[in-house]
């Protein structure tokens, strides 16, 4: 058990190797939530699974979270604050709510201090600097599956969940097994997901109806819609390729998922197949084609999520290619009369299926140098366990990290009141992976896709560069999944 000292323990200036002043100088410390106050308020791994349907009977009275909020094995022996660095600001309220309920119900000495960086890129820089300085701050780190997980795991920077799962098998069973697969490095789960999510196309149904357009089933259908919209001065798709290092790769993942070559991509990622394989080069050709097709709002690499939301919300574009995690932000920007709907990206090959990208989004792990590792694991269990996952996804409208009951969905819908939430739950099990594990390869792919979007390289040249990066790494020193 962590032993807290008599005075209140916090990770602040001068206590550790990465002081707050240094972080501010680096430009990586963005928004720090003060210690919590009471608030109301496989190669082609898929995440998700068959979701239950909500009860057919209309509930009477206010529903409650049906899951038990279990108490911890370890508690703080005195006033203690643990730190958490993440990169999705809109998750903060949900995290605060759960952490405060945990404090009130189970551990009154424990508080959680959340630092929400502007985005993934900035958070990775901050975390890298802190880990390089061997700082015990942050105690909890949000990481992405794939290369980020490999990087912190193989460097010995984080603690895995082997002991936690052995002591609490029920907690492990609460996650989708294939979600944990994306976070398993060298046989150990290095992080656990808070949510799962999908990448789809949002569209302005009213605008589609106004111009006699129907939801596209094929890529040719989408191109025809794009031409019709461009002729009327409407940008077809707002695509925030400038948001972070992941977005430029979405078209590539989409094509490979659409032709069921995602398993081949995973093999290439692990150095078992060449990145110059015809299917993988065809994926790069698809990225180039999309960039030249006139389907995107101009300058996608200069567009971030909030920019794309405004383009879409004001009717300047008819579609928005983005993730489930953006649903609430989009809703908040829309006029009350805006008819928002979604569809999976159209089939990219004749007779093919419609590719939906799935992943686990933000995942949580513990700094190997944390002064309070037991308390950090207990807080992660509170945020991602049976009770927490229901509250977390109820607050955000994202898909849960594992199966939940029909009663839980009914409880969530009581406050969500959003017809899109069940639609996302239906799409989640159909998803295809959007994860690359080898850090140097992920970087090469990101740069290559950016070069394709801007027309600076050819698909063949890009994939040759990726293959060169892969060969330079040599035999992988890690196993994934």
Domain locations along the chain? 20-196+360-422, 198-359+438-473
Give tens-digit pLDDT for 62-120. Answer: 899 999 999 999 999 999 999 999 999 999 999 999 999 999 999 999 999 999 999 99
Give the mean pLDDT of 28-33: 33
Cβ contact 72:1 at 8 Å: no
Residue 36 half-sphere exposure toward CB, CA atoms < 13 A: 30
For the domain covering 20-196+360-422, report its CATH number: 3.40.190.10
Task: Label residue 430 by pLDDT band (50, 70, 90).
Answer: low
Collapsed DSSP state (helix, strand, coil) of residue 100: helix
Task: Label residue 429 by pLDDT band (50, 70, 90).
Answer: low
| Paired residues of 399 in beta bridges | 196
Burial label for 57, CB within 10 Å (0-12, 13-18, 19+), is: exposed
pLDDT above 80: residue 42: no
pTM above 0.85, yes or no: no
pLDDT above 90: residue 273: yes
> Residues 392-403, buried b or exposed e (16+ Cβ, 10 A)?
bbbbbbbbbbbb
Confidence (pLDDT) at 358:
83
Q: How far apart are CA 23 and CA 12, in angstroms?
A: 11
Q: How far apart are CA 466 and CA 420, in angstroms?
A: 37
Q: In this predicted model, which residue has the larger pLDDT, 27 or 165?
A: 165
Q: In this predicted model, which residue has the larger pLDDT, 46 or 302?
A: 302
Q: What ranges in 293-402 are assigned the alpha helix state H?
A: 305-313, 327-333, 373-384, 386-396
Task: Label residue 30 by pLDDT band (50, 70, 90).
Answer: very low
Share of the chain above pLDDT 90, in %: 74
Q: How far apart are CA 344 and CA 337, in angstroms?
A: 23
Question: Among positive and negative, which fits the CA dihedral 153, 155, 159, 162?
Answer: positive
Q: Could you count the other beta carbons within 10 Å of the beta carbon of residue 289? A: 17
Cβ contact 11:233 at 8 Å: no
For the domain covering 198-359+438-473, report its CATH number: 3.40.190.10
Q: Could you count the other beta carbons within 10 Å of the beta carbon of residue 36? A: 20
CA 373 to chain centre: 24
Cβ contact 268:471 at 8 Å: no
Largest CA distance in the chain: 70
Q: What ranges in 261-322 are assigned the alpha helix state H?
A: 262-269, 278-292, 305-313
- 218: which DSSP letter? B
Give tens-digit pLDDT for 307-346. Answer: 999 999 999 999 999 999 888 899 999 999 999 999 999 9
Q: How far apart are CA 427 and CA 449, in angstroms?
A: 26
Do 20-196+360-422 and 198-359+438-473 fold alike per CATH? yes
Torsion, Cα 349 272 364 393, to 10 degrees, reads 20
Q: In this predicted model, which residue has the larger pLDDT, 114 or 12?
A: 114
Q: How far apart are CA 223 and CA 228, in angstroms?
A: 9
Cβ contact 317:240 at 8 Å: no
Give tens-digit pLDDT for 437-466. Answer: 999 999 999 999 999 999 999 999 999 999
pLDDT above 50: residue 40: no
Collapsed DSSP state (helix, strand, coil) of residue 465: helix
Average pLDDT value over all residues in the chain: 87
Distant-in-sequence, close-in-space partners of 255: CB < 8 Å, separation ≥ 6: 282, 283, 286, 287, 348, 355
pLDDT above 50: residue 46: no
Among left, alpha and beta (phi > 0; psi -120 to 50; other), residue 191 is beta
Token digits of residue 263: 């398993």
Confidence (pLDDT) at 7:
35
φ and ψ of 198, to 5 deg? -130, 160
Strand (E) or helix (H) holding 257: helix 250-258
Confidence (pLDDT) at 421:
86
Torsion, Cα 118 124 128 131, to 10 degrees, reads 80
Confidence (pLDDT) at 133:
97
Task: Label residue 418 by pLDDT band (50, 70, 90).
Answer: confident
Confidence (pLDDT) at 8:
36
Give the mean pLDDT of 367-392: 98
C-alpha distances (whole Å) from 325 to each of 163, 180, 343, 446 are 31, 19, 15, 21
Burial label for 144, CB within 10 Å (0-12, 13-18, 19+), is: buried
C-alpha distances (whole Å) from 372 to each of 82, 129, 176, 366 are 7, 20, 28, 9
Lowest mean pLDDT among 32-46, 76-90, 156-170, 216-230: 32-46
Token digits of residue 425: 């739950």
Cβ contact 360:401 at 8 Å: yes
Q: How far apart are CA 120 and CA 27, in angstroms?
A: 14
Cβ contact 319:202 at 8 Å: yes
């Amino acid at each position: 058990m962590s032993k807290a000292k008599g005075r209140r323990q916090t990770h602040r200036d001068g206590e550790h190797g990465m002081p707050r002043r240094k972080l501010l100088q680096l430009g990586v410390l963005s928004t720090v939530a003060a210690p919590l106050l009471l608030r109301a308020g496989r190669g082609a791994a898929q995440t998700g699974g068959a979701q239950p349907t909500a009860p057919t009977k209309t509930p009477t009275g206010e529903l409650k979270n049906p899951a038990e909020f279990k108490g911890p094995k370890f508690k703080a022996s005195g006033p203690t604050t643990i730190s958490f660095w993440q990169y999705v600001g809109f998750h903060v309220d949900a995290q605060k709510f759960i952490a405060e309920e945990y404090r009130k119900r189970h551990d009154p000495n424990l508080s959680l201090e959340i630092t929400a960086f502007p985005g993934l890129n900035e958070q990775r820089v901050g975390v890298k600097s802190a880990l390089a300085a061997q700082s015990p701050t942050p105690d909890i780190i949000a990481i992405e599956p794939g290369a980020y997980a490999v990087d912190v795991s193989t460097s010995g920077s984080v603690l895995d969940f082997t002991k936690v799962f052995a002591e609490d098998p029920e907690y492990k069973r609460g996650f989708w097994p294939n979600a944990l697969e994306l976070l398993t490095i060298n046989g150990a789960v290095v992080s656990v997901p808070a949510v799962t999510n999908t990448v789809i196309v949002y569209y302005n149904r009213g605008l589609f109806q106004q111009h006699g357009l129907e939801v596209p089933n094929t890529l040719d259908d989408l191109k025809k819609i794009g031409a019709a919209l461009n002729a009327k001065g409407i940008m077809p798709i707002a695509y925030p390729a400038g948001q972070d290092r992941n977005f430029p790769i979405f078209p590539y993942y989409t094509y490979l998922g659409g032709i069921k070559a995602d398993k081949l991509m995973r093999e290439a990622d692990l150095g078992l197949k060449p990145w110059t394989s015809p299917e993988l080069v065809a994926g790069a050709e698809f990225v180039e084609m999309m960039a030249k097709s006139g389907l995107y709002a101009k300058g996608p690499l200069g567009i971030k999520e909030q920019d794309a939301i405004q383009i879409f919300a004001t009717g300047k574009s008819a579609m928005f290619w983005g993730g489930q995690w953006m649903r609430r932000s989009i809703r908040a920007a829309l006029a009350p009369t805006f008819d928002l709907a979604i569809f999976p990206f159209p089939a990219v090959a004749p007779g093919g299926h419609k590719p939906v990208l799935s992943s686990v989004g933000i995942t949580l792990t513990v700094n190997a140098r944390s002064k309070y590792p037991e308390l950090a694991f207990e807080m992660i269990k509170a945020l991602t366990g049976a009770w927490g996952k229901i509250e977390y996804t109820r607050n955000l409208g994202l898909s849960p990290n594992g199966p939940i009951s029909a009663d839980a969905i009914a409880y969530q819908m009581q406050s969500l009141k959003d017809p899109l939430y069940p639609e996302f739950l239906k799409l989640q099990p159909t998803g295809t992976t959007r994860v690359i594990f080898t850090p140097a390869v992920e970087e090469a792919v990101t740069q290559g896709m950016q070069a394709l979007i801007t027309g600076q390289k050819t698909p063949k040249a890009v994939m040759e560069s990726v293959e060169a990066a892969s060969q330079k790494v040599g035999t992988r020193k890690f196993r994934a999944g």
